[in-house]
Amino acid sequence: PEMNEGPVNQSHMIETTDCLEAVGIFRGWKNFFFLLVVICLVLVQASFWLVNLGIVEIPPAPTTPLTELEAVGVAAAETVSQANEALTPAAPVRKKMRLPLLEKLTWEHVRRTIELVDGVLILTAGLFCLAMFFSLMVSLIGRLGGISHIARAFFLSLIMFVLVVPWQELIGSSVIGVAYTPAELAKWVSGDGSGVMHSVLYYLRFSGYWFLVVLLAIMSQARSARWTKAILRRLEII
């Protein structure tokens, strides 16, 4: 039995070394995907505030030509509306913010940015979650330790990925994701809703939900960092 301890220990050391090399690879890609996810989330939120603050204006939707009967109805409605406006006090006009560095930005720029960032965000969030999963598998197979940390990091990244996906566009459900389309943003910004409840839902949709996903991503990354430290402590590297 004593003669067999040497080859067994040597084989175990080789397996541990291979697992550590895999951990280093997955750790590097995980950090890279995390950085991309954060950048995409910042761009998504910046696009929302550019439109919300009036720095970038949404062009009016194209109108279809009216028939003669519809034109008469519209004219009558405008006459009644003008009479009502003359009798009611004027509402405060929302002024467009003027920032020299952002004056050249248009809705077309914001629209293209949102469409590009949406695709990159969904892809990198999925890859970030996969990197966490493979790190968990390597830790289990190699018995490297820190399973509780990497398992929690994986499930946090999985929840983050699920909340990022725009389910409202994919399956038309009432469950929404952080990623939104330019049409959805334009619909919310130029909507006719008013009141406290509408404002609360509006900012929860585009800022509160976003903050939750950012928090989940940071918590997942922090847990994976604890996992790395736990592995190094167990192997007496530090």
Does the structure show a pLDDT above 50 at 238?
A: no
pLDDT tens readout for residues 6-59: 454 555 566 667 777 888 888 899 999 999 999 999 999 999 999 988 888 888
Per-residue pLDDT tens for 175-184? 889 999 888 8
Cβ distance 223 to 156 under 8 Å? yes
Instruction: Supply the pTM of this predicted model.
Output: 0.75
Least trusted range by pLDDT, from 85-89, 125-129, 130-134, 137-141:
85-89
Report, as an integer, the average pLDDT of 73-78: 60
Measured between alpha carbons, how far is 188 from 198 in angstroms, rounded to an integer?
10
The model's pLDDT over 82-123, given as tens digits with 9 standing for 90+, comes to 655 555 554 444 455 555 666 778 889 899 999 999 999 999
Per-residue model confidence (pLDDT) at position 53: 87
